[in-house]
């Protein structure tokens, strides 16, 4: 993603922190983080719903969650199935807990293991990268912490890491259930 602001004053960062907080590029980069985390959360939640719908463990999972009466009433409506109500009770704010939710569906579904595997010969795994993105989002939302070091290069790397993580999770799920892996989207 290339954005070009007139003048060279926006290209240098890290010299004067007060000015960096007003830098439109850094501000835009930081504001993209909650969107990226929301995309990841929605992907994991929608994938969980799809797997839960056909899972043999649906009765055990239903017994283990607390679903409000409003969700049960909505679940009778075809637009709000029970699986959606169950998934809405699960926390998607931490990558470890997301992976554990999938583990409860199928003990052989190791999403955390797939994300912990090396990626492009880097020291930081996809798991750590996505978890760092989630922590960045929390500090931005809850503490108004704008990271002046979050450059366009960092943002592009996080977008690529999120895409790679989603593809890797999709591949693990497709392999586990003998589905055809199609990444032509």
Residue-range domain boundaries for the chain: 17-54+92-176
Q: What is the mean pLDDT of residues 97-111?
A: 94
Cα–Cα distance measured from residue 76 to residue 80, given in angstroms and rounded to the nearest whole number: 7
Confidence label for 91 from pLDDT (cuts 50, 70 and 90): confident
Confidence label for 41 from pLDDT (cuts 50, 70 and 90): very high
| pTM, to two decimals | 0.82
- In this prediction, residue 20 carries a pLDDT of 60
Confidence label for 79 from pLDDT (cuts 50, 70 and 90): low
Cα–Cα distance measured from residue 44 to residue 87, given in angstroms and rounded to the nearest whole number: 10
Cα–Cα distance measured from residue 70 to residue 59, given in angstroms and rounded to the nearest whole number: 20
């Amino acid at each position: 993603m290339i954005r070009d602001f007139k003048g060279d004053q926006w290209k240098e960062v890290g010299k004067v922190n007060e000015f960096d907080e007003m830098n439109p590029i850094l501000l835009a980069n930081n504001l993209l983080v909650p969107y990226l985390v929301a995309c990841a959360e929605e992907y994991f939640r929608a994938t969980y719903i799809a797997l839960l719908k056909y899972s043999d463990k649906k009765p055990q999972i239903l017994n283990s969650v607390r679903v409000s009466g409003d969700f049960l009433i909505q679940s009778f409506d075809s637009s709000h199935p029970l699986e959606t109500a169950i998934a809405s009770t699960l926390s998607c704010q931490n990558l470890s807990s997301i992976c554990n939710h999938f583990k409860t569906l199928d003990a052989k579904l190791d999403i955390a293991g797939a994300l912990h595997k090396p990626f492009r010969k880097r020291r930081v795994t996809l798991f750590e990268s996505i978890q760092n993105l989630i922590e960045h989002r929390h500090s931005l939302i809850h503490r108004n912490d704008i990271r002046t070091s979050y450059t366009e290069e960092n943002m592009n790397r996080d977008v690529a890491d999120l895409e790679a993580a989603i593809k890797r999770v999709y591949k693990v799920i497709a392999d586990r259930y003998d589905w055809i892996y199609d990444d032509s989207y």
